[in-house]
Amino acid sequence: MRNDLAQALYSDFPAILPKHRDDRHTPIECGSGWYAIVEALCTLMQEQTRQKPELPQHITGIKEKFGELMITTMSKTAETRAYISFAQAMSLRICEICGSPGQMILTEKWMRTRCAEHESTLPDS
């Protein structure tokens, strides 16, 4: 994800994306096209934390894996699991590069979610 978008998420959701003991944030290892998905997920988790402060929410990992958005969290509530499942399902239909409607693209080596314009934008190795 572009650095400016990641910084916006860290700034807007400090409780959901907190710094670690070494003063670094959890890396966001996915394309910028999924920014809106991650932002929506953080918004939902932030609202859940506001409503239930005894159940704080925070994300411990954000990355692309096998063409899908993968989110890890220490939160174990059914609501959080549902939010994450929805975000993951959306990532299979949204281009990771640009955020346009897309689909899973399979090659001999890779699985990626891309729109028609970015279909050929796959890693070389």
For residue 122, what pLDDT is reported? Answer: 66
Least confident range from 11-25, 29-43, 111-125: namely 111-125
Strand 59-65 relative to strand 28-29, pairing: parallel
* pLDDT tens track for 64-88: 999 999 999 988 789 999 999 999 9
* % of the chain at pLDDT higher than 70: 97
